[in-house]
Amino acid sequence: MHGYDAEALKHWSPQTDRWARYFRSRVPLAARIAPFPATQARPQLPMGAQVMNLCNDYDGAFFTARKYDDAFARRLLRFWQYSDFYGSWHGLPVDGSPTAEPDRIVHGLINPPNPAYTDAAHRNGVRSLGCWFWPRPGDFAPYLERHADGSYPVADKLIEMAEYFGFDGYFINHEAETPPDEAKRLRELLTYLRSRAPEGFHLQWYDTIRPDGGLDYLNHLNDENAPWLESAADSFFANYWMTEAGVETSRATALRLGRDPYEAVFHGTENEQFGFDPEYDPRLIFPDSAPARTSWALFGSHFVWELHPGHEDPQDQGPAFERERQYWSGPAGDPTRTGRTQLHEPGAPDPANPHKWDGVAHHITERSVIGAFPFVTRFNTGHGRGFFLAGRRASDADWYNASIQDVLPTWQFWSEGPEGSAGRETPDFDYTRAYDGGSCLRVPGGTTVRLYKTELAVRTGEETLSVTFSGSAPEVGLLFADDPGTFAWRQVGATGSGAGWHTAARSLAEFRGRTIAALAVRAASPLRLGELALRQRPLPPPERPRGFRIDAAYVDGGTAEVFLSWHLADPGQVWYYDVHRGQEWLGRIYDEVYYVKSLRRGEGEATTELTLTPVAPDGTRGEPATTRIEWLR
């Protein structure tokens, strides 16, 4: 990926932007189901406050951001259920900048969000924002050019780029003193941008310059900086040095402007530097036993991975995974047992100590997009030490691709041991084996695990529940909206099924007319869940992909870089496409293009056949299309 300066923006076109077609998000924004306090981990937690999660993608590479690649030791966000907005933050060099020479790198004003993260965000109902960061090299005035007809070419191109690349707006971080005239023109440009943007497009303004261009972090919304929110932005990200009086002023100012404080104001917490122990307490936003004063902005949630000493070691990812759970679900790693166990002490922060952090779930209610059949998950987090299909290892290579992350459990992890006591063993994602993808879910024996918040109306009686598992057969618990205090437990599969993968299904006809509000699982002894699926009726297999072809192949000895394309089907017909050579898995994507980084030539092969298999939203596989690469003799 790369960034864009003034000239690149004004002349931008997908036809002239190198590799642009490989960096699109094609996953539509999912709708979230209505709140239902009875199934929340903390039923009394007030709703309303939103979350902006401003963080790096993967490893935060400033120079070499990629959509997918061949590594496992990368940060994959696994807690989308607590965010409403995701914003990329790191900046990118302009195309052609010498990334091998850091002192000569030139960054652009704009970097789009990583499209793989946008795919994952959209799949979970989260809007994804690109980043505007100033200062950068050069003058700012060229960005403010206005045509005689009143249009701003940079603003028009920002809208065009967001629509083409598939993201939802921009986080505006303008952190430099700006001449008063340019500040005025900037506000006019952003006002024009908002007026021209499509429905759902969002601009968030970071608390930086005053309307007169003076750089001044005011740390709350007040009459002085309110003009940015009045016309130029949809929401305001307040700087981190908050006070109780400042947060109250932000709320009062938003109300005076006729704006909902939860929609308009996001008070910030700085985690990148301070980790679990930020200097300014989020409880200033979330008073005890009262609704939140404003919404919440998180900066640097990627610290859970980046501050772990072994974060680049694929064998040492466990501590980073644990820290991520503690950040989102609280120090116990359970959203029903949130809250800090140690107080913040004045002086040096203690960023690695999760016991000084309440957990995001302490303040924010969990969200879900599971509101219609079919719903299928393989507990695939979007990276792995290999890739599995139907329980067979189809690739031995490490990989990451957030674009194909499943909708992961709503609660990570809400578990109970015998007689309702807190379980001693914690469920977790298992990367040693999987049914489909790179991971499965390991469930300790004797433990009940709540998995998903849902709103699934059983209307026809044709609906089914199926589970693919290894180990003892599970019982699946169904919690219904008309009786949210009682699970209906049903055995799925035969007891003593053994170590291999087994798939069992049962009808939901007995629950016709009722709405499933939550799903849970339990088993007498340990098991692994490879797939959980709720289907209404079998979908027809997707049609064979049309136009599957090799656009380019760059051969170097016995390997080749291969660029593939085909005609993209509607998301109602295809969930994703799998790319193979023979039995070897090469990649998965919902897109019309795919890049194979290193295709190996088989012994004595003159040609290699590649296949593209479409998979329907319920997991039904269609007939593959084929193409061939001719090797140089």
Q: What percentage of the chain carries pLDDT values higher than 90?
A: 90
Q: What HEC string does 163-208 produce?
A: HHHCCCEEEEEECCCCCHHHHHHHHHHHHHHHHHCCCCCEEEEECC
Q: How far is 460 from 448, CA to CA, in rounded Å? A: 29
Query: What's residue 421's pLDDT?
Result: 56
Query: What's residue 90's pLDDT?
Result: 79
Q: What is the mean pLDDT of residues 6-29?
A: 97
> pLDDT for 114-131, tens place per residue?
999 999 999 999 999 999
Q: What is the mean pLDDT of residues 34-46?
A: 96
Q: What's the mean per-residue pLDDT of the chain?
A: 95
Structure tokens that stand for 229 in this block: 């929110």
User: DSSP secondary-structure letter at 437?
Assistant: B
At 419, is the pLDDT very low, low, confident or very high (cuts 50, 70, 90)?
low
> pLDDT for 425-466, tens place per residue?
889 999 999 999 999 999 999 999 999 999 999 999 999 999
Query: What's residue 104's pLDDT?
Result: 87
Query: Mean pLDDT lowest for which of 208-217, 314-323, 342-351, 590-599?
Result: 342-351
Query: What's residue 326's pLDDT?
Result: 98
Structure tokens that stand for 356 in this block: 């000084």
Cβ within 8 Å of residue 17, ≥6 positions away: 95
> pLDDT for 234-250, tens place per residue?
999 999 999 999 999 99
Query: What's residue 422's pLDDT?
Result: 54
Query: What's residue 499's pLDDT?
Result: 79
Exposed/middle/buried for residue 104 (C-beta within 10 Å: 0-12, 13-18, 19+): exposed
> pLDDT for 178-208, tens place per residue?
999 999 999 999 999 999 999 999 999 999 9
Residue 112 has pLDDT above 90, yes or no: yes
Residue 424 has pLDDT above 70, yes or no: no
Query: What's residue 495's pLDDT?
Result: 72
Q: Which amino acid is at 182?
A: E
Q: Strands of 549-556's sheet, edge to edge?
A: 549-556, 559-565, 593-600
User: DSSP secondary-structure letter at 422?
Assistant: B
